[in-house]
Amino acid sequence: MTTFIDGKAVALRVRAQVAAEVATLSRKPGLATILVGDDPASAVYVAGKRKAVREAGMRDLHRYLPATVSQGQVAAVLDELAADPGCDGILLQLPLPAHLDPGALIDRIPAGKDVDGLTTHSAGLLARGENGLRPCTPSGVIELLASEGVKMRGAHAVVVGRSSLVGHPMAEMLLHHDATVSVAHKHTTDLAALTRTADILVVAAGVPHLIGAEHVKPGAAVIDVGIHRTPHGLTGDVRTTELRGIAAQVTPVPGGVGPMTIAMLMANTLRAARR
Ligand SMILES: NC(=O)C1=CN([C@@H]2O[C@H](COP(=O)(O)OP(=O)(O)OC[C@H]3O[C@@H](n4cnc5c(N)ncnc54)[C@H](OP(=O)(O)O)[C@@H]3O)[C@@H](O)[C@H]2O)C=CC1
Ligand SMILES: Nc1nc(=O)c2c([nH]1)NC[C@@H]1CN(c3ccc(C(=O)N[C@@H](CCC(=O)O)C(=O)O)cc3)C=[N+]21
């Protein structure tokens, strides 16, 4: 039996809880999403985040900047939001146009407002296992595993991908939950041999349909982070239908990790506002 994990349902639960707590606050938390340029996928994601902000009873402090904006102009917007006491969280949507330096811009976000968990400061707190704001997508994956009762302690977790947005923080968080963690990337020599040893397999490679039946140990939990827009709709990095009867749990795309990313962003914004 293979369970399809309903990320949308778990996400709605998290968001309802955040909204209930927001309703008790004397001041509404404010989240600033910053969208630079006209990448259509980014526009969809930011629209989803803004809708969640409104539904949580928070203030939407969205900023749009044209693709031609300079590094200095983006920095000025970030500095203004950093100084604004009504702004509790700042999210700079990635990817940025190629002439901008994302690392330098992200690091202008004060640690207390870093609801995306992507600054050098937040990454350092995660590496040291200290309290801080954590990246939303890997937090959402941990939440999904916990909600399904998947045991992390002592499990062999394999993370495919090592980006600072997903794979790397994912591996660190699984390590903090006492999993034994392996991280695969483009130079991994035999991907299938490694992934077949995984009790928990998190795939964030950005390669459509990379992972199939030949990569999965019977009884494993398989989490598909990948998102790709095709003429036939959204698809992930995992050939999910092949895993029926093999994996114990799999996440669908859409309706798996994506909605959790947005839910954890709401949770992080509430946390940032409380501090
Ligand atoms: N559902 C959600 O909420 C989110 C979904 N995503 C999606 O997740 C995917 C990954 O995103 P992101 O981490 O930003 O992507 P990146 O392109 O930044 O990173 C991809 C990682 O996968 C590794 N990789 C690529 N090809 C292979 C391969 N054939 N075998 C093993 N490893 C490989 C790369 O290795 P190397 O380091 O060697 O180059 C790299 O570390 C994308 O599809 C993205 O759209 C992203 C964020 C949130
Ligand atoms: N600074 C930054 N922070 C991010 O968190 C960030 C980012 N940049 N860049 C791009 C990725 C991608 N991402 C997603 C968010 C929601 C869905 C989501 O809601 N997906 C729905 C489908 C929505 C749809 O696309 O129609 C689902 O999977 O069911 C997906 C992906 C956040 N990212």
| Domain extent listing, the chain | 26-111, 135-257
Q: Please work out whether the CB of residue 94 comes within 6 Å of at least one atom of ligand 2.
A: yes
> Pocket around ligand 1: residues whose beta carbon is below 6 Å from it?
137, 160-163, 165-167, 184-188, 191, 204-207, 210, 225-227, 257-258, 261
To test the pocket of ligand 1, the residue of 227, 240, 262 to mutate (highest count of ligand atoms within 8 Å of its CB) is: 227
Domains 26-111 and 135-257 are alike in CATH topology: yes
Q: Which ligand is nearest to the CA of 116?
A: 2
The matching CATH number, chosen from 3.40.50.150, 3.30.750.24, 3.40.50.10860, 3.10.20.740, for 26-111 is 3.40.50.10860
Cis peptide leading into 95, omega within 30 of 0?
A: yes
Instruction: Say what the pLDDT of residue 204 is.
Output: 99
Task: Kindly give the distance from the C-alpha atom of residue 159 to the centroid of ligand 1, in angstroms, as a whole number.
Answer: 10
Q: ipTM more than 0.95? A: yes
pLDDT value of position 15:
98
The whole-model pTM stands at 0.98
State the pairing for strand pair 233-235/228-230: antiparallel
Tokens of 164: 């600072």
56 C-alpha vs ligand 2 centroid, how far in Å? Answer: 18
Name which residue sits closest to atom 2 of ligand 2, judged by CA: 93
| Architecture of the domain defined by 135-257 | 3-Layer(aba) Sandwich (3.40)
Predicted confidence pLDDT, tens digits, the chain (275 residues) = 999 999 999 999 999 999 999 999 999 999 999 999 999 999 999 999 999 999 999 999 999 999 999 999 999 999 999 999 999 999 999 999 999 999 999 999 999 999 999 999 999 999 999 999 999 999 999 999 999 999 999 999 999 999 999 999 999 999 999 999 999 999 999 999 999 999 999 999 999 999 999 999 999 999 999 999 999 999 999 999 999 999 999 999 999 999 999 999 999 999 999 98
Atom of ligand 1 nearest to the CA of 210: 29
Q: Among the atoms of ligand 2, which is closest to the Cα of residue 95?
A: 9
Ligand nearest to the CA of 144: 1
Query: What does the pLDDT read at residue 275?
Result: 86
Residue located nearest, by CA, to atom 9 of ligand 2: 94
